[in-house]
Structure 1
């Protein structure tokens, strides 16, 4: 089987304790690769290297423009290797090659975007109220960054962290999920090839006790960028109390998609399918709560069912496949349990509803019609291909149902009334709202959530400032020495 090592301080290495884990191909259920696991000693080495690299002239003394050129080189390498990295990600996680390869290629734009911003980080001269003082600010790298990325959109979620961090001049210890870490460990080869000095980026993986906890609580970590689940995030926040690291969290959600009675129904059906069955439902912005005007619900559901019958389920490496396996068996168990509860609550499963009888972690795409807003499938993030529909009668009711969640990452609405689109999107409590589309991303557009979907934003111009801190410099321009030392100027 293929074996992946850790990448620490510019070198490939086994973990300090020699621990190795095996990763399975979700499409077959068979082991396909092994990977080294980090121990606390490895995390110590990676953070020490990152701290050292912050003061290494090869990194800290190069121009911001030179940093941008390194990022541009990384962007080129990512695009050149997109197909190969995508194939590894598909084999390791079960996500469709059509998506992993194209997504990997597209994140080259993220690195190129931040390459362009690297020499746009500016300070300011302040119009201070003391005529004998010249006061200005400069923005400096925040320091060592712990970037923690889940398995479900690895290249994208890495780029949203690594791009601005490196453009700002930070150093990064990147932790890949132990669920399916292979593509991130393969990606580390490109960091080396792009010319980043040793220690600027290390890539590790391993379990919580030996890897994640030592990383997030380490006193030399200045910033934590975490994407994952709410329970793990609570531990991350507690750990950050040890180092007071600036922390951002992107935690997924239970996103609503509202369909009004004037919507283009085929477009809305495609939007709901994209929001629920794209990436086999394994998306943090999955629009799993379809909130549909009562007058069109049955018509829309019928259209969705017709499209679901044409969905091809199978080998995620095949170009004709629409839905592949789920990454873990635990996801199928969660879905089965949630559907059983929903049925007991009176929900009606209109399509699907069971795992497929074949090797691998395959779940049939499922359509659930709900009659109560507290139905279990409307509450639980299942991370699988399950769509729930719930009727509404008025615009106010639709907004209330959309906001009836502790989460607030994504949302969508379908309407041909532009005034309604503006009005309703402003009232939905989510970090992102798509109108007459779904699951669109760009390096230019901020990405993040409200409430239990976390805090902070990734992508966009503002993200680069989140990896800097401000120093204020006061220069006395007077020829006179300081006078009374006991009075604040």
Structure 2
């Protein structure tokens, strides 16, 4: 594939099936325009059901007959490290494509690409350390061995908010375990995933071990979810779509891992580090234009400081720089799609009807592109939809609490449980809250930090399973027990005579 990522020509993307770049069987194509500039930035072959079936068949052959599952862990690790190195070599082109399609500031895209390369390096280390167990305590005539084997063909469906990072939270760990994969990126941000496909082939990933399809979720995604030859589904996206995928997968009883939505609280106690907390709140809700499952979209502020703290957040938010993703100093770029922009504005209008006060922003910006003003809503109460529903945009809801017990109860009052933060100088307060909040990640006096070594995932409607961490590859395996008998075996028939 001849990847073109210069400013003059749109990127030309094709499907990757069985090691070959190809057009869709029916010749369908789709176009992607930049949300920041409304310019054509990519043209893709658009996969249909027939293409999805071909890709799954290729992955099935590559798993059942190909070399990838049979390779030594050290050999898989070597290839994964080469992928990581190549990502860093191409990070400028990858980041530029990410910003063109997603609308996020270029500096943030660069950081995302670099972080993704680290995930490939970490997955390489796990390829060599994945192992089973042995049991020699079952008696002198018995030896038990538990093997970990790759689960098989994995369907990977990724969203548009962090296209390269999220595919890198899944694909390298599945490959490290010895699985083969079919990847479907979000159709509006497919460029960097296809560029990754080029890197994989150059690094020596065998034909069919990774296949990539650009297409609509209702067509290609559903084909992967329901296909009997797909042994596992790894999906990141909205809770609503995740529920649909889980229900559709039931017919084949495939394993399903879901990373879904969140309505993540930052709990601000009166004794917090004031400047650090204000900065973290503003960063937490406006990073990636709020299009982040971990977005700190609601803050719970203790009554004693609620008015003053809210005012400080509003004032700091006034100075957040919204603009062209390629302009130096831009902190918030464009909203990724027209549909998402309309959804955000509808959430804001609904909050106002429910009685929340608009302290800042609340409208689309009067400029070309899909831009929205940083928005802060005060006077929000727990019964309002804006306090419970994921907005997925640069909209902050401010709620109040009195005691530690009230803060914990309020933090746990939504159906989500992805992440949270606690801000206090008192260790007992922080640890008590962190242990009682039902969320997969709780930050203490910081927010939105992540490391490859630490598991990521949520409670309740925020998903099923965990990504990253030292057990990440195990999620892509099955366990097999070998029960071995040593020496002569007692004859059951004679024993009963």
Deviation string 1:394-443 (CA, Å, 9 cap, x unpaired) is 11111111111000101111111111111111111111111111111111
Deviation string 1:218-268 (CA, Å, 9 cap, x unpaired) is 111111111011121122112211221111111021111100000011111
> In the alignment, is the contact (CA less than 8 A) between 2:380 and 2:397 conserved in 1?
no
Match of 1:363 in 2: 372
Structure 2 gaps of 5+ residues are 1-9
Distance in structure 2 (CA, Å) of the matches to 1:93 and 1:399: 35
Distance in structure 1 (CA, Å) of the matches to 2:313 and 2:433: 24
Residue 205 of structure 1 aligns to a residue in which SS? coil
Distance in structure 2 (CA, Å) of the matches to 1:371 and 1:388: 6
What's the Cα RMSD here? 1.6
Match of 1:483 in 2: 491
* Pair 485,182 (structure 1): closer, same or farther in 2 beyond 3 Å: farther
Q: TM-score, normalised by structure 2?
A: 0.95
Distance in structure 2 (CA, Å) of the matches to 1:485 and 1:198: 52
Distance in structure 1 (CA, Å) of the matches to 2:338 and 2:62: 41
Aligned: 1:196 with 2:205? yes
Distance in structure 2 (CA, Å) of the matches to 1:289 and 1:339: 13
Distance in structure 2 (CA, Å) of the matches to 1:121 and 1:307: 47
Residue 350 of structure 1 aligns to a residue in which SS? strand
Match of 2:401 in 1: 392
Aligned: 1:317 with 2:326? yes
Q: CA deviation at 1:352?
A: 0.8
> In the alignment, is the contact (CA less than 8 A) between 1:266 and 1:303 conserved in 2?
no
> In the alignment, is the contact (CA less than 8 A) between 1:366 and 1:385 conserved in 2?
yes
Distance in structure 1 (CA, Å) of the matches to 2:494 and 2:151: 33
Q: CA deviation at 1:67?
A: 0.5
Q: TM-score, normalised by structure 1?
A: 0.96
Distance in structure 2 (CA, Å) of the matches to 1:481 and 1:445: 47
Aligned: 1:183 with 2:205? no
Q: CA deviation at 1:300?
A: 1.4
Residue 212 of structure 2 aligns to a residue in which SS? strand
Matches within 5 A, 1:89-238: 89-238=98-247
> In the alignment, is the contact (CA less than 8 A) between 1:151 and 1:176 conserved in 2?
yes
Match of 1:434 in 2: 443
Distance in structure 1 (CA, Å) of the matches to 2:494 and 2:34: 70
Q: CA deviation at 1:309?
A: 2.2
Match of 1:14 in 2: 23
Residue 213 of structure 2 aligns to a residue in which SS? strand
> In the alignment, is the contact (CA less than 8 A) between 1:313 and 1:323 conserved in 2?
yes
Match of 2:263 in 1: 254
Match of 1:408 in 2: 417
> In the alignment, is the contact (CA less than 8 A) between 2:144 and 2:483 conserved in 1?
yes
> In the alignment, is the contact (CA less than 8 A) between 1:280 and 1:384 conserved in 2?
yes
Residue 459 of structure 1 aligns to a residue in which SS? coil
Q: CA deviation at 1:322?
A: 0.8
Residue 340 of structure 1 aligns to a residue in which SS? helix
Q: CA deviation at 1:62?
A: 2.1
Moved over 4 A (4+): 485-488
